[in-house]
Amino acid sequence: MRCLTTARYTMDAELLHWTGIQDGTTTDVSSGHWETYQDPITGEIRNKWIPAPADDPATPDVETTVKTFPCIARGIVDGGIRAMSNTEVFGSDYENIEVIKMWTPASVRITKNDRVTNIRAKKGGDVIWVDEEYTGATDRPTVFNVMGVTPLFDGPFNRHVENYIILEKVDGANA
């Protein structure tokens, strides 16, 4: 049975793990660090990954990756004309919201403080979600914030077998 369950995950993704803020400023890791800042318009407290100085921020690579994990991800295409996966709102502020759903094995531990990027097919390695609006690079993988993680259990034995995760694309200024 283990082989059938494992065969479900036809994609790989990379986890950018946030280790927490200490002393209210930053927490360093070997390949970079997270910084906390306050959005001047909304006042929201946000975290931004700052790669180590030798890295080029336009080309994220395995140095900023904590873990590669198996998964399966799908865009949300149901819900009528204003489908949740690709919503554009024109007004005083332009919003382009992209939301996807992902399933991972129970062994993959993801929290709402983490980010997911480089979602790609296992066979061939093609990146599935690419930042189209990013100038200066081609095929830059989209970075997603984790909006929620729900453990899923099998019926008869009540074992934690899978995680269901909702991801939202990080806006361009905070990627």
What distance in Å separates the CA atoms of residue 127 and residue 13, rounded to the nearest whole number?
9
Per the document, the length of the chain is 175
Helix (H) or strand (E) run with residue 23 in it: none
pLDDT at 7: 76
Band (116; pLDDT cuts 50, 70, 90):
very high
Radius of gyration, CA atoms only, the chain: 17
What distance in Å separates the CA atoms of residue 100 and residue 23, rounded to the nearest whole number?
34
Of the candidates 143, 147, 140, the one whose C-alpha atom is nearest the C-alpha of residue 169 is 143
6-57 confidence digits (pLDDT tens): 678 999 999 987 654 444 444 445 556 677 888 777 777 777 777 666 544 4
> CB-based contacts of 163: which residues, under 8 Å, 6+ apart?
103, 104, 105, 106, 108, 110, 149, 150, 151, 152
Q: Is the pLDDT of residue 125 over 50?
A: yes
Of the candidates 155, 162, 75, the one whose C-alpha atom is nearest the C-alpha of residue 110 is 162
57-103 confidence digits (pLDDT tens): 444 443 344 688 999 999 887 654 455 556 666 667 666 678 899 99
User: How many domains in the chain?
Assistant: 1
Domain range for 148 is 2-174
Q: Is the pLDDT of residue 161 over 60?
A: yes
Of the candidates 16, 44, 33, the one whose C-alpha atom is nearest the C-alpha of residue 115 is 16
